[in-house]
Structure 1
Amino acid sequence: MRMSKKASIGVTGLAVMGRNLARNLARHGHTVALHNRSEQRTKELVEQFGDEGDFIPAYSAQEFVDALERPRQVVIMVKAGAPTDAVIDEFVPLLEKGDVIVDAGNAHFADTRRREAALREKGIHFVGTGVSGGEEGALHGPSIMPGGSKESYQSLGPLFEDISAKVDGEPCCTHVGADGAGHFVKMVHNGIEYADMQLIAESFDLLRGAGGYSPAEIAEVFRTWNSGRLDSYLIEITSQVLAHTDAASGKPFVDIVADQAEQKGTGRWTVQIGLDLGVPISGIAEAVFARSLSGASNLREASRGLGGPSRAPLTGSALDTFADDVEQALYASKVVAYAQGFNQIQAGGAEYGWDIDLGKVASIWRGGCIIRAKFLNDITAAYAEEPALPTLLTSGGFRKAVEDAQDSWRSVISTAVRLGIPTPGFSTALAYYDGLRAERLPAALVQGQRDYFGAHTYRRVDREGSFHTAWAADGRPESSA
């Protein structure tokens, strides 16, 4: 370990993510102060990885703050919620105006906005920062989504851009927007991640349940897909998971894993905020609900005897084209999921006063993060060409790809329904697409119902204003509201 007088940045909270982020900074030539509630973790990091760069271990909050250059930059890597508030309360009395506190955990953006406003009054910059890529990304180069003030990014930006993933020489890091914008964008990223994973899982279920493929054969299908337009981190690791054989039983790994998917909450946050903003993110919602259903063991056990159709696998020409049809359905559904996510970011920016560049968001997701994928290059290009693009589904390349996929998309869902294979992700994506393109929706009838039982009024297509029909009166006269 090489010692230097002062550290350019400090990390407090040295569990896996904090430790790897600190190592990443040190590997890039930055002197890093280290602090953890448990002194042992600080000592272990220095003992194991001290030769990777300049670390300054600190065993008290005061010692940690004293080790930092001014303006001090403190990165917090602890559990969201009360633990984060506790660390902030511990360090704020030791800091000065102009210093920066970075929360790089998965905090709720509303908490970040609250903290940023409170610390701004004290003259301290609070930067809620989304970091995606897991423990490997934190060490080797994550996608980084800082919020906070523009002033704070002047000092933090070069460090974060330095340690972030790079795509075509460009850092996967940008200043997202004010106060909670960084954590908001990370939240939506995680929501899209839920949808992406659900769609991939449904593709596996279809290939196995309708196509009769073995996990090893499906792994090969996914490897093939990963060499084309579906090239992505999630498709890549899916092929590896499906190809893995359990050493203890000799069975395919996927068959010995309990079919109950867990979640940490960011997907739920995305759906809750989508409801608050009035943004239809049905694909993300169905992915969250699918995980909830998978974990409802008592409900599922009680329903085992419910009747359903035969699941006889496809044969003949239908089987010959099925994998290609599923690829088309997967691609189209993924476009819908990403379109919904970017619409939510757009709506959040409008609601909270954030000037978020959607093209830059797509750009920094191209590397380092869990949803990194080849087609994020196309999303980046779409927003560069039309910054105010209303939806990815109307962008030239995506529009044509989804239109070309329609027959396969609908055929796959029809097969799933006929065989009783649940495809909530595929189905809701298609319903969303059909809802957008419909000339008229049955919402007209819903408005009539609402006016009938609650006098909620309705609007007409032939003149301006709101109207109410006196449904209980003879002749049901209409009046302006």
Structure 2
Amino acid sequence: MQIGMIGLGRMGGNMAERLRRGGHEVVGYDRDPSVSDVGSLKDLVERLQAPRAVWVMVPAGAPTRATVEQLRDLLSEGDVVIDGGNSHYLDDQRHAADLGTRGIGFVDVGVSGGVWGLQNGYALMAGGEDEHVGRLMPVFDTLKPEGEDGFVHAGSVGAGHFAKMVHNGIEYGMMQAFAEGWELLEASDVVTNVPETFASWRHGTVIQSWLLDLLVRALKDDPDLAELKGYAEDSGEGRWTVQAAVDHAVPLPAITAALYARFASRQADSPAMKMVAALRNQFGGHAVASAEGQTGKGADSPGADVAPPPEADR
């Protein structure tokens, strides 16, 4: 099958390569001319035979919206656009409606597999009309892992990215659980071989998983993780997952806590904890640390100027 691929970065480039290895003709476009097959989106569209299929693999948000808008004006009735980035599902619905005015189909595909996808295949979650998804099945069959699993037509437009959003939220919670378990093991003076402890869980346990395999691999390279800083970004899908939970009144305590833990990781000196320290000092006389790292007197230390609490609070 012939397909256009827009965005040839780590994911898009590897996906294009996997498709070529599977016998498909891929015409790729990227802003980097050294990896691009054509010089512009217009050139890409002209190289493809109608009815065309164009896969967009660029960052979510403004870059994806701008690309879809350009394709709307370049493509023809009967063509189809696939958004394989991490777009918000509500954007998918807007894109489908916009392209639909020109008779252009739209399929959203949540893609998981990262840098290992070229070798192992990509898990694909598609949303869209049966007609459009069915037409693209040769591409999906090549991209997905071998075997029965790895692809789902999750539902109507937006369903693919909604499913991927929830997938990433679950991923947040799983990673946070592994991370907290690792920290507790490291803090213990009983367990002295933490990397091998995790490795022993890779088979025969209910937490065996690819994430656990990757954790063991990371500890093998850096047993104490001394080369890393405890700072974690978020792609945005964790936030969307929590917001969707609010919209649907579905409690997500583990995923929400994992997202907030990432926020906390970016604070070298937590503003909220400053206030907690100040309050503990005020009501309990607990010692506080200064900005210079020195420990100061508690509020009830000799000489401290402490206002007595109200009578009702005594």
TM-score, normalising length: structure 2:
0.82
Structure 2 vs 1, CA of residues 155 and 20 (structure 1 numbering), >3 Å: closer, same or farther?
same
Segments of 5+ residues of structure 2 without an aligned counterpart are 279-314
Contact kept in structure 1, 2:109 and 2:124, CA below 8 Å: yes
1:102 aligns with 2:73: no
Structure 2 vs 1, CA of residues 300 and 221 (structure 1 numbering), >3 Å: closer, same or farther?
farther
Structure 2 vs 1, CA of residues 231 and 24 (structure 1 numbering), >3 Å: closer, same or farther?
same
Question: C-alpha offsets along residues 344-401 of structure 1, whole Å, 9 cap, x if unaligned?
Answer: xxxxxxxxxxxxxxxxxxxxxxxxxxxxxxxxxxxxxxxxxxxxxxxxxxxxxxxxxx
Structure 1 residue 109: deviation in Å? 0.8
1:260 aligns with 2:201: no
Contact kept in structure 2, 1:24 and 1:140, CA below 8 Å: no
Partner of 1:182: 160
Aligned with 1:126: secondary structure?
A: strand
Matches within 5 A, 1:198-347: 198-210=176-188, 212-214=190-192, 217-228=193-204, 229-245=206-222, 252-299=223-270
Contact kept in structure 2, 1:218 and 1:239, CA below 8 Å: no
Question: C-alpha offsets along residues 20-43 of structure 1, whole Å, 9 cap, x if unaligned?
Answer: 11001001111111112332221x
In 2: Cα distance, 1:77 partner to 1:11 partner? 7
Tell me the C-alpha RMSD between the 2 structures: 2.1
One-letter amino acid of the structure 2 residue matched with residue 99 of structure 1: D
1:8 aligns with 2:22: no
In 1: Cα distance, 2:103 partner to 2:119 partner? 31
1:119 aligns with 2:90: no
Question: C-alpha offsets along residues 199-231 of structure 1, whole Å, 9 cap, x if unaligned?
Answer: 0011111212235434xx222111111112322
Q: Which of 6, 14, 18 is the matching residue for 1:20?
A: 14
In 1: Cα distance, 2:118 partner to 2:275 partner? 43
1:152 aligns with 2:132: yes
Contact kept in structure 1, 2:18 and 2:142, CA below 8 Å: no
Higher helix proportion? 1
1:66 aligns with 2:46: yes
Aligned with 1:11: secondary structure?
A: strand
Aligned with 1:88: secondary structure?
A: helix
Q: Which of 128, 142, 158 is the matching residue for 2:108?
A: 128
In 2: Cα distance, 1:191 partner to 1:238 partner? 18
1:41 aligns with 2:35: yes
Partner of 2:310: none
In 1: Cα distance, 2:275 partner to 2:182 partner? 22
Structure 2 vs 1, CA of residues 177 and 302 (structure 1 numbering), >3 Å: closer, same or farther?
closer
One-letter amino acid of the structure 1 residue matched with residue 30 of structure 2: N
Contact kept in structure 2, 1:157 and 1:175, CA below 8 Å: no
Contact kept in structure 2, 1:71 and 1:98, CA below 8 Å: yes
One-letter amino acid of the structure 1 residue matched with residue 168 of structure 2: N
Greater relative contact order structure (CA < 8 Å, 6+ sep): 1
Question: C-alpha offsets along residues 293-342 of structure 1, whole Å, 9 cap, x if unaligned?
Answer: 122222179659969xxxxxxxxxxxxxxxxxxxxxxxxxxxxxxxxxxx
One-letter amino acid of the structure 1 residue matched with residue 258 of structure 2: A
- Number of residue pairs matched by the alignment: 277
One-letter amino acid of the structure 1 residue matched with residue 247 of structure 2: D
In 2: Cα distance, 1:211 partner to 1:280 partner? 36
One-letter amino acid of the structure 1 residue matched with residue 49 of structure 2: E
TM-score, normalising length: structure 1:
0.55
1:31 aligns with 2:22: no
Structure 1 residue 106: deviation in Å? 0.5
In 2: Cα distance, 1:8 partner to 1:147 partner? 21
Structure 2 vs 1, CA of residues 220 and 9 (structure 1 numbering), >3 Å: closer, same or farther?
same
Matches within 5 A, 1:398-417: none
In 1: Cα distance, 2:259 partner to 2:119 partner? 29
Partner of 1:163: 143
In 1: Cα distance, 2:138 partner to 2:153 partner? 11
Contact kept in structure 2, 1:26 and 1:32, CA below 8 Å: yes
Structure 1 residue 58: deviation in Å? 2.0
Structure 1 residue 132: deviation in Å? 0.3
In 2: Cα distance, 1:256 partner to 1:142 partner? 30
Structure 1 residue 281: deviation in Å? 1.0
Aligned with 1:184: secondary structure?
A: helix
Contact kept in structure 2, 1:187 and 1:270, CA below 8 Å: yes
Question: C-alpha offsets along residues 149-173 of structure 1, whole Å, 9 cap, x if unaligned?
Answer: 111111112211222112xx21411
Aligned-pair identity (%): 39
